[in-house]
Amino acid sequence: MEIRRKPSWLQKKVSPAANADMERLLAGLSLHTVCQEASCPNISECFRQRQATFLILGAICTRHCTFCNVGKASPLPADPQEPGRVADAVQRLALAHVVVTSPTRDDLADGGANHYAATVAAIRRSAPETAIELLIPDLQGDRKALETIQHAGPNILGHNLETVPRLYHIRAGADYNRSLELLRMAREIAPEIPTKSGVMLGLGETEEELLAVLTDLRGVGCAYVSIGQYLAPSRRHQPVVEFVPPERFEQLKAAAEGLGFAHVESGPYVRSSYHADRYHAADART
């Protein structure tokens, strides 16, 4: 496909020199980050601040979403030592807030739920003051798997809707209503744990569709939402339909706050875990 030329507000540069120290630490612990695997445009900014979003359960996804840069192949078995290595990294980096996510692992009976729980437990042992945010896949709607994760006691439980229902063909294997139900169940299982979701703009969605998604999220008790610009990782990925101007992000932020979200991050470079500590600092109105 033809790559659309980025406008002036989307010219953030990646600096390999700024990434080097973090890359060495992560490589030494054999850890993956979504910052690297998903080619996040914020990587240099976050790595310079010694922040990272850890990608557990390997770097291979069992689904084939056309917008995502995470690898697609046959994943390896879960590494039982990985939770301890993540906890070691959290301690070394002295993180006040950590985000842990994973590729979708439909090959695992529990979708990786027990591995998430083990990671939370390991971080609690080595860095008990660190706030833990989990960004989980849909677990194929398995309530028992979700209970395993919620009972581990994360501070925030996230699951991204990503886009509007009409465009869900880009999320191979996903289902909009199943994702909404997962967020609803999460609040039912552990009402004290705020939930969070995120959406991307620029895929051809309409304003009306976006507002409907935000309304649906509030309807299942979602407290936090991130709204950012979709950027195609390569010519092989879903093309960008529109580069959304910053002022529209501000308008959507105001609309989301009007719906009752406790905290909203909305801007061209916003991603699920970008400035994640700001959500935790907010007083969730649920």
Alpha-carbon gap, residue 167 to 138, rounded angstroms: 17
Q: Report the alpha-carbon distance of residue 32 to residue 36 in Å, rounded.
A: 7
The answer to whether the annotation marks 46 as part of a ligand binding site is yes
Distance from C-alpha of 253 to C-alpha of 103, rounded to nearest angstrom:
28
* Sign (positive or negative) of CA dihedral 218, 222, 224, 226: negative
Residue 40 marked ligand-binding: yes
- Annotate 182-196 with b (16+ C-beta within 10 A) or e (fewer): bbbbbbebbeebbbb
Q: In what order do the strands lie in the sheet with 263-266?
A: 32-33, 53-55, 97-101, 131-135, 156-158, 195-201, 224-229, 263-266
Annotated binding site for [4Fe-4S] cluster: 35, 40, 46, 61, 65, 68, 273
Annotated binding-site positions:
35, 40, 46, 61, 65, 68, 273
